[in-house]
Structure 1
Amino acid sequence: MTMSRGTLDGDPHRAGPALPVGGQRRRLTLAGLPKPVARARTFTAGALADWYACTGEGVAADVVLLVAELVANAMLHGDGPLELLLDATGARLRVGVSDRSPALPAPRLPHEPALPGGHGLVIVERLADRWGAEPHGRGKTIWAEFDAARLTRA
């Protein structure tokens, strides 16, 4: 295993694994998959461990939470999730969840923490460095990005 990333757990001798030149993508088909939220969480945690030597703490936990939220939202509001795409480069990790609905998300404003519902996009906005939505022929993809520096410090 090639080791070339920053230090982990405060140990200057323990570096994280490097991504291949040009980055790496992993896809998980969610359409028709039983327990898609749980499967997406496990899939994401495995990718983070491989790419950044992150385990379920800190920013890694934030990424897994964000993935769970996006997949759950696709189930509740997007006519079902289609696919999870994790796209890692040296600069950033992009998470994308595609669903069947063409309706783009709109945060509930003003955000009312005491009321049920309407918190998903607030969670996404607070955890990710950037996020957005893109329509496509089968529906839309909600994406969120994390700067790689955050993950390599995790």
Structure 2
Amino acid sequence: MTSPLRLEKITPDNVLAACALEVRPEQREFASPVAQSLAEAYVHQEIAWPRLIVDGERVVGFLMAFFGVRFDPADPRDRPRDGLWRLNIAAGEQGRGYGRFAVRAVAEEVRRRGGTRVTTTWGLGEHGPQGFYLGLGFRPTGELSGDQVVGELDLP
């Protein structure tokens, strides 16, 4: 039996459902609203990969990945990176494996494009996502992107 979980492109038919998605109130400081992410995807079309996370017919989350990005183009040691830019799981849908599915889906897309590691960032705080990412095997690189921790996951 196939999983009802899938990623869908953002379309005129689902954009309002995407924008209506909200995380739990205590997580808002760690997750940008989907509408903001879609605006950023629009102006960064060459690198942004926004997708809805759908379970059956229900929109349960949103992710946005990036491919071939340099965090500091002025630094010759900086290498192009692929990874997870945004992840929002709807408040009432958390704890059901949707975030794990999203990270796996991004990892598969990174592999498909020839990458060997997934990069992401997270904010620190009581209700922040650090435990989630560390539990999936991400390790802090020692770098910061603004005030966020940069983490990487090597792909087998």
TM-score (norm 2): 0.31
TM-score (norm 1): 0.31
Larger Rg: 1
Higher relative contact order (CA 8 A, sep 6+): 1
